[in-house]
Amino acid sequence: MSFHASATSIELEDGHILKATLRNSEDDEVESELDLNEIIGNNNGSFEWGGENFQHSADDIELTREERDEGEPIPVLRASLGNLDGENVSADINLAERITNEDGHLKFV
């Protein structure tokens, strides 16, 4: 299950630590965190799943929630990422695509 659907709070700390309070299988609230630098990289100005250390080449990092289609607003990571030409490029990535709630813990899939 996408983590945001079972979260009571979602925040970004230090520009790369995703923190959330999630429901587990017993309906208890559990605090969890995931270092996005370990799973997201910068590929020439675009976020890349399976990469690492996106924050080292990013400015203006923020976590937003966006309405897409119907349902819960999705968590989107936004930043200005450096590309190979030395320019900053606006980029975003839908965190709900690859981060799930596994019994109250944030997990990259």
> In this structure, what CATH number is given to the domain that contains residue 12?
2.30.60.10
Tell me the pLDDT tens digit for each residue of 18-64: 999 999 999 999 999 999 999 999 999 999 999 999 999 999 999 99
Question: Which residue range is the domain that position 60 belongs to?
Answer: 3-108
State residue 21's pLDDT score: 97
Q: What pLDDT is recorded for position 69? A: 65
Average pLDDT, the chain: 94
Q: How many domains does the chain have?
A: 1
Task: Tell me which DSSP letter residue 86 carries.
Answer: S
Rounded Cα gap, residues 58 and 96, in angstroms: 20
Q: Is the dihedral of CA 31, 32, 36, 38 positive or negative?
A: positive
CA angle 38/14/23 to nearest 5° reads 70
- What is the average pLDDT across 65-84? 88
